[in-house]
């Protein structure tokens, strides 16, 4: 029996709308993506998604609460876990997001810039509810909305996160993010090998052949976050638009 990989649809939100993200940059006015993040959450749930990955770009870039009511409604509208990344800078931020109903937080820059705060989160909530995002450009870790190069190799940083107690790493090759050119499976496998934990791959999936390649590495990569390929119907027999057009949300 083939190894199973958990497919996690991504819902990227900016200015209260669903957006397409290319190389970490959100693009508005993408008509194929629909405007309503809550409706997209319901569609993915109708497609039998077991988990949703939500990114709040307003919170990430200006620490605003513009989308918080939408995040809360997503959590209330589906009966599956919702993990969220973006704008988590303090313990209070984390508490507020958990109060909205978020199941797991994905912490990025804070883990690098304020490791003491990150460890406090890990110790308080536990590693099942706090995971770490590693954004990578040319094998170098980048932070602050993927705009600041740290000079730290990905393997070194990944090991540091695991030493702090992290049990879940979400690895994104920024140059492949939203490009539909295939994922960096070797990068994720290397991180898994060098840390001893399974990782979540994010970025680059262009369709079923890529997903099959990830499945072949499921002993290292046990889950994959997919955005653009799902929204643009890159998988055979994908039903999301038939579900949307059937009027189930009217």
Q: Looking at the annotation, which residues are catalytic?
A: 12, 135
Residue position matching structure tokens 């001893």: 196
| Tokens of residue 140, six digits | 């170098």
Tell me the three state secondary structure of residue 207: coil
Strand residues in 104-250 grouped as ranges (E): 104-107, 130-137, 140-143, 148-153, 169-173, 199-202, 221-226
Distance, in Å, from the CA atom of 150 to the CA atom of 169, rounded to the nearest integer, reads: 18
| Closest among 125, 11, 9 to 71, alpha carbons compared | 11
- Sign of torsion over alpha carbons 89, 95, 101, 103: positive
| Closest among 112, 111, 133, 128 to 120, alpha carbons compared | 111
């Amino acid at each position: 029996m083939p190894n199973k990989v958990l497919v996690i649809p991504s819902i990227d939100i900016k200015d209260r709308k669903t957006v397409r993200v290319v190389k970490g940059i959100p693009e508005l006015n993408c008509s194929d993506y629909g405007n309503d993040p809550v409706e997209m959450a319901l569609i993915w749930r109708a497609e039998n998604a077991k988990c949703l990955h939500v990114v709040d770009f307003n919170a990430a870039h200006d620490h605003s609460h513009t989308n918080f009511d939408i995040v809360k409604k997503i959590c209330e509208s589906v009966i599956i876990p919702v993990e969220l990344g973006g704008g988590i800078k303090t313990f209070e931020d984390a508490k507020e997001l958990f109060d909205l109903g978020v199941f797991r937080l994905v912490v990025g820059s804070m883990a690098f810039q304020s490791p003491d705060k990150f460890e406090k989160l890990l110790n308080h909530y536990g590693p099942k509810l706090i995971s770490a995002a590693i954004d990578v450009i040319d094998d170098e870790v980048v932070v602050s909305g993927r705009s600041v190069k740290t000079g730290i190799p990905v393997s070194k940083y990944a090991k540091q996160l695991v030493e702090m107690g992290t049990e879940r790493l979400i690895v994104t090759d920024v140059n492949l993010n939203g490009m539909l050119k295939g994922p960096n499976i070797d990068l994720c496998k290397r991180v898994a090998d060098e840390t001893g934990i399974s990782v979540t791959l994010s970025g680059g999936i262009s369709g079923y052949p890529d997903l099959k390649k990830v499945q072949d590495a499921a002993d290292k990569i046990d889950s994959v976050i997919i955005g653009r390929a799902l929204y643009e119907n890159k998988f055979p027999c994908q039903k999301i638009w038939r579900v949307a057009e059937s009027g189930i949300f009217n």
